[in-house]
Homo-oligomer: A and B are copies of this chain.
Amino acid sequence: MKVSELGEFGLIDLLDKIAQRSRDEQNPAWQQLLIGIGDDAAAWHSGSATQLVTVDSFIQDIHFSLAVSPWEEVGWKALAINLSDIAAMGGIPRYAVVSLALPETTEVEDITTLYRGMIELAEQTGVAIVGGDTCSAAQVMINITVLGSTQDGKDNILTRSGARAGDKIAVTGYLGAASAGWEILRRPDIKVKNIAALKKAFLHPLPRIAEGQLILKQGVRAAIDISDGLCSDLGHICRASRLGAIIEVDQIPVHPDVKANFSNKALELALSGGEDYELLFTGRAEVVNRIREISSCPITIIGEMTANKIGQVTLIDNRGNQLELKRGGWEHFKKTQN
């Protein structure tokens, strides 16, 4: 079987199973492990802290296109997607190591510009870039590992498996803007007003680091960042928590510029577009309501976790009618991928 047939998530599941078989309870590394493969980051106890690590590749013509993304934004986003994973664990990002693969013909100036974008975000978020390697390759590939931590103690981390039946489902910010921005960037002929915010949402996402720490502190236990798309990422929480989810589509905070410009397609972009890097989390109604009051970022309740329909995300309209999900989140290795 080819990896294209198995799909990205199928391959990750398979490799997870292989890695799990090597689990050795006599080994301190395994003993101290809290979270392995299958969450936004791995986590383990270390002294008085919980250590977090996450890695993501950002590859030319798979994850970004130099035809539409300036080098500075490529650097920014390559780091942002990793910081977003630490945010989804409620962690504090601290260190990053950067592995760059580049065609030999790449201009040095372009790489220093890429680094400038990356370092701008690192400075804003208190992250020290402390190492890496470089080598030549046919396409530009940026592979970043981010190390972070949370305060140690009981319930000290956000996971995909921490949701409970009856939890409200909430999201930070607005959805659909990044994928609308991508539509605009790749189709310059498209007629859209107020495109700056949408382009920026795609090129220059802001990882929700402060919000991740806030929701953890307020008692939230389950979260994920929206990278593949709301439905796809909520599906990860459903499977990991062994629950179902009901989403009231009219409650979804579709970005106003997306609503204004993509009338028919706006909801689809918000549900399945991905790359918004907002946080999706679940918690008791009183916990989520308290967060809504104190957070400087908009927090919207969009549905509820259910004990039945395990692993399924059900969409309903304001009359309680069920909607069909026409398009899943982005999955690499699928032949229909973007």
Residues of A within 8 A of B (CB): 1-6, 8, 11-12, 14-15, 18-19, 21-24, 27-30, 33, 35-37, 39, 41-42, 44, 46-49, 51, 53-57, 59, 62-63, 94-95, 97-102, 104-109, 111-112, 115-116, 119, 122-123, 126-139, 141, 143, 145, 147, 149, 332-333, 335, 337
Which chain B residue lies CB-closest to A47? B47
What are 23 A-B residue pairs whose CB atoms fall within 8 Å in the complex? Answer: A1-B107, A3-B102, A4-B136, A11-B108, A19-B119, A22-B129, A29-B128, A46-B47, A46-B49, A47-B47, A53-B131, A53-B145, A53-B147, A54-B131, A55-B97, A55-B98, A55-B131, A55-B145, A56-B99, A57-B101, A136-B333, A143-B143, A147-B147
CA distance A5 to B292 in the complex (A): 54
- CB contact between A95 and one of B29, B39, B59 (< 8 Å): that residue: B29
Please indicate which of the listed interface residues A5, A59, A101 has the most CB atoms of chain B within 10 Å of its own CB: A101
Chain B residues within an 8 Å CB radius of A101: 57, 59, 141
B138–A139 touching, CB < 8 Å? yes
Chain B residues within an 8 Å CB radius of A135: 8, 57, 59, 62-63, 332-333
Chain B residues within an 8 Å CB radius of A131: 36-37, 39, 41-42, 53-55
CA distance A129 to B37 in the complex (A): 8
Please indicate which of the listed interface residues A59, A63, A145, A149 has the most CB atoms of chain B within 10 Å of its own CB: A145
B62–A137 touching, CB < 8 Å? yes
**In the complex, what's the smallest C-beta–C-beta distance from A9 to chain B, in angstroms?**
9
**In the complex, what's the smallest C-beta–C-beta distance from A38 to chain B, in angstroms?**
8
A15–B111 touching, CB < 8 Å? yes
**In the complex, what's the smallest C-beta–C-beta distance from A205 to chain B, in angstroms?**
17
CA distance A94 to B29 in the complex (A): 6
Chain B residues within an 8 Å CB radius of A112: 14-15, 18
CA distance A301 to B33 in the complex (A): 41
In the complex where A55-B99, A62-B137, A94-B29 touch, is A36 in contact with B105 (Cβ < 8 A)? no
CA distance A101 to B3 in the complex (A): 11
User: Which 5 residue pairs are nearest across A and B when measured between Cβ atoms?
Assistant: A47-B47, A4-B104, A42-B130, A42-B131, A145-B145
Chain B residues within an 8 Å CB radius of A18: 112, 115-116, 119
CA distance A11 to B12 in the complex (A): 33
Which chain B residue lies CB-closest to A39? B131
**In the complex, what's the smallest C-beta–C-beta distance from A161 to chain B, in angstroms?**
15
Which chain B residue lies CB-closest to A131? B42
B59–A97 touching, CB < 8 Å? no
CA distance A41 to B30 in the complex (A): 22
A24–B108 touching, CB < 8 Å? no
- CB contact between A33 and one of B29, B128, B133, B333 (< 8 Å): that residue: B128
B97–A14 touching, CB < 8 Å? no
Chain B residues within an 8 Å CB radius of A119: 18-19, 21-22
Chain B residues within an 8 Å CB radius of A35: 130
Chain B residues within an 8 Å CB radius of A104: 2-4, 333, 335
Chain B residues within an 8 Å CB radius of A98: 15, 55
- CB contact between A3 and one of B29, B106, B123 (< 8 Å): that residue: B106
